[in-house]
């Protein structure tokens, strides 16, 4: 019999007990070692491992999720397109604003130039009036006469209304040889037409003979200013001596290239700038 103090199993084989004296030898069974086993759930009927659980998906709910996803994608595409259109409109508006600002700047510049031109015209008018008064002429204001001359057709002449005055422009090339005061053939006819129009329509109005040239004239001593003064004087003498325009009604003004009508960069522009202008003012001779 084993002692109660000895463990049943110590992890090592126990030494064989000493043979009992005087009794038959009896073999003891070896100790039993139990190894824990992992339980595997099996199907009771077939004895095979049970299958994993199956996840059941609701087809209706899945379709709803897909529909919402499709709607969101479509909405996103619409918003992207709307954003592109809005950006394009914004750019168009910005371009229009820039264009309007540019036009506004041009308008402001034109108004400034117009004011300068009016100031210069007033200055010239005052200087001409002072010159006429020195020669014994006296004028009174009359704004009722600036209506009819623009209706007169003078072949070969440019007649136009410019503010309070009427301008009759004659190309200098049709009156004088280049850069000189020598008359060309046909000059008498043009001046006679202008003088007749003035005598019939403005017999008592102040008339200023303005001589203009281009920026490239190199003629008489003194340059373009002297050339203009000589040409204006030649026209003055022609109107007084040949056409019997009262001398006190006329004033000469040599303006040179200061008031071009076109660009001096081209031959055509320079030709337009070389001109004699008979400027009729509303003031009447007393």
pLDDT tens, position by position, 247-274 = 999 999 999 998 999 999 999 999 999 9
**Residue 63 pLDDT class (50, 70, 90 cuts):** confident
**Residue 105 pLDDT class (50, 70, 90 cuts):** confident
Q: In this predicted model, which residue has the larger pLDDT, 21 or 122?
A: 122
Return d(Cα 228, Cα 253) in angstroms, integer: 8
Handedness of CA 20, 24, 25, 28 (dihedral sign): negative
Please name which of 185, 282, 198, 182 lies closest in space to residue 239, comparing C-alpha atoms.
198
Q: Which residues lie across from 230 on neighbouring strands?
A: none
pLDDT at 284 over 70: yes
Each domain of the chain, given as residue ranges in start order, spans 69-134, 139-285
**Residue 2 pLDDT class (50, 70, 90 cuts):** very low
Return d(Cα 166, Cα 93) in angstroms, integer: 44
Q: Of 22-26, 66-70, 137-141, 191-195, which one has max mean pLDDT?
A: 191-195
- The reply to whether CATH 3.30.1330.60 applies to domain 139-285 is yes
**Residue 145 pLDDT class (50, 70, 90 cuts):** very low
For residues 55-74, give the mean pLDDT: 80
| 209 membership: H or E segment, kind and range | strand 205-212
What's the pTM?
Answer: 0.53
Q: Of 128-132, 140-144, 226-230, which one has max mean pLDDT?
A: 226-230
| 169 membership: H or E segment, kind and range | strand 165-171
Return d(Cα 203, Cα 154) in angstroms, integer: 17
The answer to whether 216 and 270 have CB atoms below 8 angstroms apart is yes
Secondary structure class of 5 (helix, strand, coil): coil
pLDDT tens, position by position, 11-32 = 444 555 544 444 455 566 666 6
pLDDT tens, position by position, 203-245 = 999 999 999 999 886 555 568 888 999 999 999 999 999 999 9
Return d(Cα 238, Cα 241) in angstroms, integer: 5
Q: What secondary structure does DSSP assign to 113-162, as a single string?
A: HHHHHHHHHHHHHHHHHHHHHHTT--EE---SSTTSGGG---TT-EEEEE
């Amino acid at each position: 019999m084993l002692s109660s103090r000895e463990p049943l199993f110590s992890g090592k084989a126990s030494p064989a007990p000493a043979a009992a004296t005087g009794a038959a030898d009896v073999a003891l069974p070896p100790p039993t070692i139990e190894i824990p086993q992992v339980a595997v759930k099996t199907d009771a009927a077939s004895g095979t491992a049970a299958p994993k659980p199956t996840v059941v998906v609701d087809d209706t709910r899945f379709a709803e999720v897909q529909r919402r996803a499709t709607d969101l994608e479509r909405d996103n595409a619409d918003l992207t397109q709307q954003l592109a259109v809005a950006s394009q409109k914004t750019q168009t508006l910005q371009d229009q604003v820039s264009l309007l600002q540019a036009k506004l700047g041009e308008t402001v510049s034109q108004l400034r130039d117009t004011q300068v031109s009016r100031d210069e015209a007033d200055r010239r008018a005052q200087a001409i009036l002072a010159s006429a008064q020195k020669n014994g002429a006296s004028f009174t204001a009359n704004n009722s006469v600036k209506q009819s001359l623009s209706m007169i057709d003078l072949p070969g002449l440019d007649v136009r209304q410019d503010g309070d005055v009427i301008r009759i422009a004659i190309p200098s090339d049709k009156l004088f040889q280049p850069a000189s005061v020598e008359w060309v053939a046909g000059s008498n006819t043009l001046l006679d037409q202008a003088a007749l129009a003035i005598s019939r329509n403005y017999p008592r109005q102040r008339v200023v003979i303005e001589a203009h040239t281009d920026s490239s004239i190199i003629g008489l001593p003194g340059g373009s200013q002297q050339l203009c003064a000589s040409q204006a004087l030649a026209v003055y003498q022609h109107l007084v001596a040949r056409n019997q325009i009262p001398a006190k009604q006329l004033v000469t003004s040599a303006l040179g290239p200061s008031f071009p009508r076109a660009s001096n960069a081209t031959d055509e522009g320079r030709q337009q700038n070389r001109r004699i202008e008979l400027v009729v003012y509303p003031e009447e001779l007393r």
